[in-house]
Structure 1
Amino acid sequence: MAETSRVDMKKSWELLASAIFRSTASGQGTTDAAVRGLAFHRYVSASTPMPRFLKPVIIVVAQGRKLVRIGKNEYNYGENICFVTGVNMPVASCVMEASEEKPYLAMSLYLDTELLSALAVKTPSSSGYANDISCGAMIQEMEPDLVDAFLRLAELSNTYDDIPVMGDILLREIHYRLLKSPIGNLLRTFNTLGSQGNQVTKAINWLQKNYKTPLRIEELAERSNMAPSTFHKYFKSITTLSPLQYQKRLRLDEAQRLMMAGQCDVTQAAFSVGYESVTQFIREYKRLFGNPPRRNIIYLKNTSQTNKLNII
């Protein structure tokens, strides 16, 4: 990269950090923007890894560092790098570097999978899509055009009169540039009809809506038009979990959400998400979140970690 280009990129990142800071003027935490699917994040201290699910999303860190764990894979990234998930992924994430003087500043954009599918048809890739993909997430150095598009999106979020028209235009541009970038192969894999990645995505979407239902791999594989062994292989390769483990994570994640919202106690939460044994629920909850349900919820409600449940 030429010296002038490096200077321009550095300036772009500084402007992006400033735009995010202004958009989180209310202080530490996550601020939802008026633009569909967009949020800004500001934190002044590091955090511990928090298990959660991530929808298809792109996360852009303008200042500080972030760690995301998916199975045995670790993604440690900061400025110049974006993190992308192509499907709903079970992750554990935390802020690695942040302070009052230099806070963690990031923006996240949930991806519109219908828009990706439509644009993928109009912008074919010479490399097509990958049927043998190792994971449903990746990190990638951001190209100047993509950084510029995110900077314009961040600035747009504070000009409310322009959002109804310019919001959709910028979102379309960002999705297009993602497909044209090295990230495009990952996104095409899950948003191209007929690909095995897309078939697994359908199974994941079904699981999310039916996580309480007893799971039969044969039926789930049939929904994906795959043999059970092939389906199991691709599902675990993409999500790092077996279908049964994935369903368990969905149940535990929803149970935590219900208890945090005060909608039910431990026993009610266990049965409401599909468990038949409260003892088994407590055991598996502790294995995932580090503490039994009641202690975990008290901890989250009484510490600053409550706000960090929203860290992306």
Structure 2
Amino acid sequence: MTDQPVQDLGSLHRSLARIIDRWTVDAENVATPIPGLSFFRRPKPTEPDICLVEPALLIVVQGAKQMLVGGEPYRYDPSSFLITSLEIPGSTQIIEASPETPCLGLTLNLDLRLLAEMVAQNMIAPAQRTTERSSIAVGTLTAQILSPAERLVTLLDEPDAIPVLAPLIRQEIHYRLLTSDQGMRLWSFAASGSPNHRIMAILNWMKLNYATPMRVDDLASRAQMSGSAFHQHFRDLTTMSPLQYQKWIRLNEARQLMLNDRLDAASASFRVGYESPSQFSREYARLFGMSPKRDIDQLRERAAV
């Protein structure tokens, strides 16, 4: 990675805002040709909306936004960035936006394997190796982080260069995050054998085996932790118990099956591991605020607009 001239934050924000504004003129969310990079645009403040929080870097270049996880708000604006390390449930909300000055920003999915390689190769190590028991945080946005993000986004006007240059710039962004004020948090998830890394491995296993009956003691054994330590660490990172997390995965997977594969509620409930469609419907309404049929109908109406 070679050093690049670093612009001031103001000019970087303006440059990114112009590009994101151009790409999102007629859409709220846009997936770009650069893998893992997407843009968002909102013309007004919104109520909290349930979402899947994936490992990602989120930057707002205009307006302000917040993520709510476990009831805790994490506000970010052009002076800060949001970093998430695990796939957990949350709610997203726009808190500053107007038609004249919409909330504009980007999401860049994190490559946890790349972070792990950097840590394993001693490319970066924290000064103090304490465990951060939170998978989401707000960090200070610096020009060292925003400058490569701006260079990545400008590649959209040079599509032939994307396959060659985008991976290099993504690597630089990951390095800058590891050396940021949230580097310790990312290190704790990337370092092989750390408690956070072991919980992350369990979450990945649960996502692949969500329809299988699970016992917390078996999960703790798989993570090489005592039952009490595993349960506490799991809750610290995800804000829920292992069985609550499994239920959340099942309900979200059923939602996708009904939306994309057009399964009815009963068929989707059996597919994800429920034995009782009525229990499934009750728990679905508790999570999404309405019955499965009404929720899917609304999602399809929204997508058709």
Question: What TM-score do the two structures reach when normalised by structure 2?
Answer: 0.93
* Residue 180 of structure 1: how far off its partner (Å): 0.7
Which stretch of the first structure deviates more once superposed, 117-126 or 237-246?
Answer: 117-126
Counterpart position of 1:159: 158
Counterpart position of 2:276: 277
Counterpart position of 1:67: 66
Counterpart position of 2:46: 47
* Residue 153 of structure 1: how far off its partner (Å): 0.9
CA distance in 1, matches of 2:81, 2:304: 23
Q: In the alignment, residue 14 of structure 1 is paired with which amino acid?
A: R
Contact 1:28–1:44 at 8 Å: present in 2 too? no
Alignment of 1:131-280 (within 5 A): 131=131, 133-280=132-279
Contact 2:66–2:92 at 8 Å: present in 1 too? yes
Structure 1 segments of 4 or more deviating over 4 A? none
CA distance in 2, matches of 1:99, 1:124: 41
Counterpart position of 2:292: 293
* Residue 118 of structure 1: how far off its partner (Å): 0.8
Deviations 1:50-72 (A, max 9, x none): 22222210111111221211112
Which stretch of the first structure deviates more once superposed, 241-250 or 73-82?
Answer: 73-82
Q: In the alignment, residue 11 of structure 1 is paired with which amino acid?
A: S
Question: What TM-score do the two structures reach when normalised by structure 1?
Answer: 0.91
Contact 1:33–1:39 at 8 Å: present in 2 too? yes
Contact 1:52–1:253 at 8 Å: present in 2 too? no
Counterpart position of 2:21: 21
Higher relative contact order (CA 8 A, sep 6+): 1
Flag structure 2 segments of 5+ consecutive residues without an equivalent.
1-6
Share of identical aligned residues, percent?
A: 35
Counting matched residue pairs gives 298
CA distance in 2, matches of 1:214, 1:35: 38
Counterpart position of 2:3: none
* Residue 105 of structure 1: how far off its partner (Å): 0.9
* Residue 307 of structure 1: how far off its partner (Å): 8.6
Q: In the alignment, residue 140 of structure 1 is paired with which amino acid?
A: G
Q: Secondary structure of 1:41's partner?
A: strand
* Residue 262 of structure 1: how far off its partner (Å): 4.6
RMSD: 1.8
CA distance in 2, matches of 1:130, 1:138: 16
Q: In the alignment, residue 248 of structure 1 is paired with which amino acid?
A: K
Q: Secondary structure of 1:157's partner?
A: helix
CA distance in 1, matches of 2:105, 2:282: 35
CA distance in 2, matches of 1:108, 1:307: 24
Contact 2:211–2:273 at 8 Å: present in 1 too? yes
Q: In the alignment, residue 21 of structure 2 is paired with which amino acid?
A: F
CA distance in 2, matches of 1:270, 1:46: 34
